[in-house]
Structure 1
Amino acid sequence: MSTSGFADVAAVAALLADPTRARVLLALADGRQLPASVLAAEAGVAASTASEHLSRLVDGGLLSVRRSGRHRYFRLADPEVATALEALAALAPHRPVRSLRESTRAAAMRSARSCYDHLAGRLGVAVTESLIDNRALTRTDGGTGTERAQDDPLSAPLRTHSYALGPNATRTFAALGVDLDDLRTRRRPLLRFCVDWSEQRHHLGGALGAALLTRMDEAGWIRRHESRRAIDLTDSGAQALDRILGVR
């Protein structure tokens, strides 16, 4: 019986099954490009060991690499890799927390993090909810707020979604520093949504979600952790989101 045309899921699963390679991929899940030395530190292995794992991930199509000066910078090959990692995070058992530091990290990831290039976690869901409350976004299926629809997966980007820009979209996003007219000229879809793996609710992705996270970063409303995807909301960011959207 021929199996041609079937995806070789086992090959990808084998790459993800190694804890070191999994830590490397998760370190890159926020869309950044990081040098091998930083990824080795993130994975807790020697540089030579990291180099071997990075080569396997590049050969397997999960990472891409470019050279800048003496350093090689790695990133996820495409957003679909981040999508797979988010989905697996929803299914994976939580590791036992053995220290206050680990507990703090886990709480930070649930509170606010990047999902490839847009905002996720409780903060991402709260911002999306407030955009609906302010009629910058509207649901077209009769759903309430960011609640996951019955047929939605537990964690994944939604290939189709039931949202549209609301009547206050232009004004609200302008107040946030995001130019909708500029985003409409780009090829990337303006609106995309994910089911947040930790909140089991929708958060905003697509070109609009990416632009909003970039704006929050540039305005100093958030502070990114250097070695993981967790994000801190700054005092100025909390004040801005409260003033513009009513996010508390």
Structure 2
Amino acid sequence: MKEGPDISQVATLIGDPARANMLTALMAGKALTAGELAGEAGITLPTASGHLRKLETGGLILARKQGRHKYFTLAGPEIAHLLEVLMGFASARGHLRTRTGPRDGALRGARVCYNHLAGEAGVQMFDAMMAREYLGLAAQGLTVTDSGRRFVTDLGIDLDGLQAKRRPLCRECLDWSERRSHLAGSLGRGLFELMLRENWLEKTPGTRIVTFRPSGLKRFTDLFGPPPPL
């Protein structure tokens, strides 16, 4: 294509296996150092530094210096959304880099997608909120209904504060394992942070997996219907 966006530049950046591994590691929403990302990619630190410069120049990641260390994060939720869609496309066509194992089921059950809940649990929450008409579709896309405003406010979420942010309040994100939508945007992040803050679930170190505590699982079930299998 001679005019319009040049997708080949972005595709080249993501297409390298080492860079793809580093980007996937950052999908957990945690800032990581170059050394940590080198370990994720299975490469040396000097090689990782070169890859990180390319990703930063390409606008896929951000670097933040804190003290003597430099930390890297995804450049924003739109990058996470792009990666999630690519993962779904690859998974649907059998392009899997490792054999499935015990962790695969847990990853599909509930995981973090940058800053919101994904997997079977995330899809279940989205479906429940649509069925109960807490969310609706309008000309501008996904929106929070009046009953939805009351619901999230009763949970203790500052909806007005979320709406004041520059990011979209709510947005559909195509789940790579379920190939259906889960909830992203400021509201998706707010609900996930609520679950962490109130100890519904906990993150599994070194992975994107999140695990529900028994009390949190009951709360999730009460609000959003059947939970993901344990």
TM class by smaller structure:
0.7 to 0.9
**What SS is found at the alignment partner of 2:101?**
helix
1:31 positional shift:
3.1
Of 157, 171, 193 in structure 2, the residue corresponding to residue 214 of structure 1 is 193
Tell me: CA distance 1:166–1:21, structure 2 relative to 1, closer, same or farther (3 Å). same
Number of the residue aligned with 2:205: 226
Number of the residue aligned with 1:144: none
Contact residue 124 and residue 224 of structure 2 kept, 8 A: no
Number of the residue aligned with 1:172: 151
Aligned-residue sequence identity (percent) comes to 40
Over the aligned positions, Cα root-mean-square deviation in angstroms equals 2.5
Tell me: CA distance 1:62–1:182, structure 2 relative to 1, closer, same or farther (3 Å). closer
Separation (CA, whole Å) in 2 of partners of 1:189 and 1:18: 30
Per-residue CA deviations over 1:156-212 (Å, capped at 9, x if unaligned) read xxxx53x44345324422343323233233333222112222212221111111111
Tell me: CA distance 1:236–1:44, structure 2 relative to 1, closer, same or farther (3 Å). farther
Number of the residue aligned with 2:69: 71
Matched, 1:11 2:9: yes
Separation (CA, whole Å) in 2 of partners of 1:90 and 1:239: 29
Number of the residue aligned with 2:182: 203
Matched, 1:245 2:224: yes
Separation (CA, whole Å) in 1 of partners of 2:85 and 2:225: 30
Separation (CA, whole Å) in 2 of partners of 1:172 and 1:247: 19
Contact residue 172 and residue 244 of structure 1 kept, 8 A: no
Contact residue 118 and residue 182 of structure 2 kept, 8 A: yes
Deviates more, 1:175-184 or 1:66-75: 175-184
Number of the residue aligned with 2:96: 95
Separation (CA, whole Å) in 2 of partners of 1:166 and 1:60: 37
Number of corresponding residues: 224
Contact residue 176 and residue 244 of structure 1 kept, 8 A: no
Separation (CA, whole Å) in 2 of partners of 1:11 and 1:244: 43
Separation (CA, whole Å) in 1 of partners of 2:133 and 2:76: 32
Q: Which has the higher helix share?
A: 2
Separation (CA, whole Å) in 1 of partners of 2:15 and 2:23: 11
1:107 positional shift:
2.0
Contact residue 203 and residue 210 of structure 2 kept, 8 A: yes
Unaligned runs of 5+ in 2: none
| Correspondence list, 1:79-158, <5 A | 79-92=77-90, 93-95=94-96, 97-98=98-99, 103-138=101-136
Number of the residue aligned with 2:173: 194
Deviates more, 1:182-191 or 1:208-217: 182-191
**What SS is found at the alignment partner of 1:168?**
helix
Letter in 2 for 1:192: R
Per-residue CA deviations over 1:36-75 (Å, capped at 9, x if unaligned) read 1221222222323222221221222221111111111001
